[in-house]
């Protein structure tokens, strides 16, 4: 498995986990209500808080994935889009100079 596939799988696993947060929050809220540990009127706020926490976790996961990808690219010495764009600008500048001289 190459790095790109690994990153994709990790990312999609994270998305799947986040997508199930709403369902899991609902389930947990219902269990807490049944046990008398949460009031029905507090359920929407409880679910909202759990979902927000899930979104924070997703954001952290996104940052970690991006960091891992950046590190892998750097370690493998793969040029980034910025590197290629910079080279293209230099080539364009050289070509412009050559065209001026003709």
- Residue 6 has a CB neighbour count (10 Å cut-off) of 14
pLDDT of 18: 64
pLDDT at residue 14, rounded to an integer: 66
86 to 57, 66, 70, 83, 90: CA distances (angstroms): 34, 21, 18, 5, 6
Burial class (CB in 10 A: 0-12, 13-18, 19+), 29: buried
pLDDT tens string, the chain, 102 residues long: the values are 566 676 677 767 766 666 677 788 888 899 999 999 999 999 999 989 988 887 888 788 888 888 888 888 788 888 888 999 999 999 999 999 998 877
Res 19: pLDDT: 66
pTM of the model: 0.51
Q: Which of 20, 1, 22, 12 is nearest to 61 (CA)?
A: 12
**Domain extents in the chain:** 3-101
pLDDT on residue 33: 92
């Amino acid at each position: 498995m190459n790095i790109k596939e690994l990153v994709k799988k990790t990312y999609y696993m994270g998305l799947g986990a986040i997508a199930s947060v709403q369902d899991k929050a609902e389930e947990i809220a219902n269990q807490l209500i049944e046990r008398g540990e949460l009031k029905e009127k507090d359920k929407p706020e409880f679910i909202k808080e759990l979902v927000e926490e899930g979104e924070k976790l997703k954001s952290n996961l996104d940052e970690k994935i991006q960091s891992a990808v950046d590190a892998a690219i750097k370690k493998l010495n793969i040029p980034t889009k910025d590197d290629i764009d910079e080279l293209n600008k230099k080539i364009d500048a050289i070509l412009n100079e050559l065209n001026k001289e003709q």
